[in-house]
A and B are shown apart, each in its own frame.
Chain A
Amino acid sequence: MRSPARQSSAHRLAAGALLLACAALLGYLESVLLPPLPVPGLRLGLANIAIVLALAMHGPRVAAVVSLGRVLVVALATGTLGGPAFLLSLAGAYAALAAMVLLACAGPTFSVVGWSVLGSAAHVTGQLLVASLLVSSSAPLALLPVSLGLSVPLGLAVGSTVRLLLSRIPDLSLSAAGR
């Protein structure tokens, strides 16, 4: 992660806003254009590309703002703000962020691919736990093995995309060298 001290607040604000727009757009396009996966609640997680980029380039604080912003924007756009779907989205987003920040703080042992895989697994786990609370039943947790299993290739795909972006786009690679 690049040291926040080396970035001006205006630069961070602009980059955060850009990544938030990307996250919201990717999430919206995914929900509208792509067919749902066979496991309920499981998605490709295209919006996570922007979150992982934010974490790699600007650190946990900006990533948290982008993640919360995305959840709020999508909830406002779909009219689910404050409802159960919003809680599910929020739980997944922050479980994923917490897991990814944990690995990011562990140093170069893990790359963005590892962050993304663990984030994807934490996302589905968080959502299923909240779904279980919402339906007052452990039934949603029965989906955990399938969801966790599928989260690995999905996380690999998102992480590899982020790594490709970081290596191919000069400005990004300058901001997050070594990821």
Chain B
Amino acid sequence: MTRGDVLVAIAVVAVALLTVPSAVAMLAPAGDAAVLRGPAGSTTVSTTSPGTYVVEGHAGRVVFRVVGGQVMATAADCPDRLCVRMGAAAPGRPVVCAPNGVSATLERGEELDAVSR
């Protein structure tokens, strides 16, 4: 490993550290709402009430389940289903189904579009 290689590794780690504040600021602290985004737009739902939401994506549907203040993808019409394997969304870690163009992030819910009861 050359000195140049070490510098490259250090530079990548430095960039990773520099992006931490931006990433944290990008997503508000965990609140009582989840924003479900799809190609057709976004919907803000409450995480305080359990419910199931279907978001139409580019390649099919992604089913999100809200339970116990958490939101997670439970089914998806994409080949890998990485979003389903991800588990629940966390602050700074959205659930993303990139092939479908669908994501779910935890945010503070000042204006809810939907509340499931």
Contact = CB atoms under 8 A, between A and B. Distances in A.
A118 to B, nearest CB: 5
For chain A, give the interface size range. Answer: 35 or more
B2 A108 contact: yes
Given A114-B2, A139-B27, A139-B105, A84 B8 contact: no
Interface stretch (B43-51, B63-71, B77-85, B108-116): B77-85
A145 B17 CA distance: 6
A79 interface: yes
A144 B100 CA distance: 20
Contacts of A152: 9, 12-13, 16
Interface in B19-51: 19-20, 22-23, 26-27, 37, 39, 42
Nearest to A147: B16
B79 A79 contact: yes
B101 A136 contact: yes
Interface residues of B, number: 43
B72 interface: no
A151 B42 CA distance: 31
A145 B14 CA distance: 10
B113 to A, nearest CB: 16
A78 B19 contact: no
Contacts of A141: 22-23, 26
A138, A141, A142 pick with most chain B CB within 10 angstroms: A142
Interface of B: 1-5, 7-9, 12-13, 15-17, 19-20, 22-23, 26-27, 37, 39, 42, 58-59, 78-80, 82-83, 85-86, 92-96, 98-103, 105
Interface of A: 31, 36, 40-41, 78-80, 83-85, 88, 103, 106, 108-111, 113-114, 117-118, 121, 127, 130-131, 134-146, 148-149, 151-152, 155-156, 159
23 contacts: A40-B96, A84-B58, A85-B98, A103-B4, A106-B4, A114-B4, A114-B5, A134-B98, A135-B37, A135-B98, A137-B42, A138-B26, A139-B37, A139-B103, A141-B22, A142-B93, A143-B23, A146-B16, A148-B15, A151-B12, A152-B12, A155-B12, A156-B9
